[in-house]
Amino acid sequence: MLLVDPLAAFFRPDLAGCAPLILDSTHVEVTLLPPLAKVAVVRCFTNTSDQLIEAVLTLPPIARQEVVFRLIVYIGGVVCEAIPRPAKRGRGAHDAAAADGRRAILYELVKNDIQMISISGIKPGEKVEVQIWSIKPLGRPAENKAMLLIPLSARHDAVMSVLTDADALVTTPTWHRATLQLDWNALQVTLHGQGAPYEILSAEPVSIDCAAPIQLEIVPSDGGSLDHRAWQVDQVGGWEVTSARGFETFRHPMNPGGSLISDRSDWIFGVMETTQGKIRVTAPLPTEGIAPNARALRAFAAAAFAESATPQDPDAVRYTANILSRQTSLAFIGPEGELPDEIPTMRKLALPEMLSSEKTRRPAQPVALEPFDYGAPPAVPEPLLPRKTDNLTTPGARQPRHRSLLPWVLAVIALLLIVGMFQW
């Protein structure tokens, strides 16, 4: 069992007064697998300081039924892939490793499903690439139309109110290069919210606004479907996904009428209830060497686990499928001696500032989307940097994510006093 010093988070260097890190670029790759979409968001930045740092990135909440299944971080050319850990243990291990000067990465959901990534052990001048992979249902405002929303930022007040100052969202008016790349088949896709509606006709990356949410409108073409997609479903590693409007073809105990019969024994089956109805997925068990889309589909099936070809514990399936949840974080802890023996300086990584539509460089086009309401806008602009925290032992340090020990200490002292009085 990993033992973690509960006071480790107190001894983190000063955050107050540090300018935020700025993103160099953002790249979004979308693979449409109706009724689902696989999304990979790649953010790059550079440690422009002369210190070993820990970068902390706060992101908007994940969408309903969105399944995050992978975090890859490239630091100075070194690949760090995060793996699942129980949330509390992952948090403690990260804080202890960062206080020890080791490389540590933690991706977790905090209050209101807000995403937060901490990357500790970034040397001066190193370039960092953060890849986040997820899969989620498409919205269905009409029978023959689907929608996909990908927020790249959030209003500062939307996330700031529920987090401690050291963990809160930081925004900047500085803009950076951003691109979108699409992988689709037998579909017509139109990009909204980035100026005039733009039909995507090429698989080449297109330039997008780094702060405005990506809004894709999807309609079937050339015999395409919004309700069913499959790939070698009768073979090992194959998968199938179907909406409430579609028809499953793979025959298994929960679909005895299927037309595809196979003796494959590697499949898991998941059923997820969404606002658009049920989505049913047959995907391979978590094994190595499967195709990228199969890895995404198995994560979705694991999150909604209902049946499998062989006896499986649902929690174990979700764990081995690398799913991020309230109970499970994704973490990477580097070996001892990998980095200089010094405590990193904490730096916030800023997202581009989301402005109201009348202030954006290009007016957004209103379209029907899944809910994306952060409440009323702030009356006055919020500061770009977190406020100084006054109730910590070290000013500006990250507030420990464990409950305060003070009430327990006072209770123990009171008990000792009472015992002492009786002995006297």
Average pLDDT over residues 313-320: 93
Per-residue model confidence (pLDDT) at position 222:
84
Terminal CA-CA length for the chain:
42
Of residues 383 and 23, which shows the higher confidence score?
23
Dihedrals phi, psi of 316, to nearest 5 degrees = -65, -35
195 DSSP assignment = S
Contact 96, 8 (CB under 8 A): yes
The bridge status of strand 145-150 relative to strand 139-142 is antiparallel
Residue 268 has pLDDT above 50, yes or no: yes
The rounded distance, in Å, linking the Cα atoms of 402 and 400 is 6
Per-residue model confidence (pLDDT) at position 384:
36
Average pLDDT over residues 212-219: 95
Q: Give every CB contact of residue 132 below 8 A, 6+ residues apart in sequence.
A: 40, 41, 68, 70, 71, 107, 117
Contact 36, 136 (CB under 8 A): yes
361-398: pLDDT as tens digits: 443 333 333 333 333 333 333 333 333 333 333 333 34
Share of the chain above pLDDT 90, in %: 58
Per-residue model confidence (pLDDT) at position 375:
35
Which range has the worst mean pLDDT, 20-34, 181-195, 334-348?
Answer: 334-348
The rounded distance, in Å, linking the Cα atoms of 265 and 295 is 17
Per-residue model confidence (pLDDT) at position 394:
31
Short-list 315, 259, 260, 247, CA closest to 286: 315
The model's pTM: 0.81
Per-residue model confidence (pLDDT) at position 30:
98
Per-residue model confidence (pLDDT) at position 343:
85
Average pLDDT over residues 134-159: 87
Which range has the worst mean pLDDT, 107-116, 138-147, 162-171?
Answer: 162-171
Per-residue model confidence (pLDDT) at position 424:
61
Per-residue model confidence (pLDDT) at position 293:
95
Per-residue model confidence (pLDDT) at position 53:
93
Q: What b-and-e string marks burial along 212-226, b requiring 16 or more CB atoms within 10 Å of the CB?
A: bbbbbbbebeeebeb
The rounded distance, in Å, linking the Cα atoms of 148 and 57 is 24
Here the tokens at position 92 are: 């403690």
Per-residue model confidence (pLDDT) at position 197:
92
Q: Which domains are seen in the chain, by residue range?
A: 8-221+328-352 (2.60.40), 228-320 (no CATH)
Q: With cut-offs at 50, 70 and 90, classify the pLDDT of residue 205.
A: very high
Helical spans, DSSP H, in 28-168? 87-99, 156-160
What is 216-250 written as a DSSP string? EEEEE-TT--SSEEEESTTSTT-EEEE-TTS---B
Helix H or strand E segment including 83:
strand 83-86
| H helix and E strand count, the chain | 5, 24
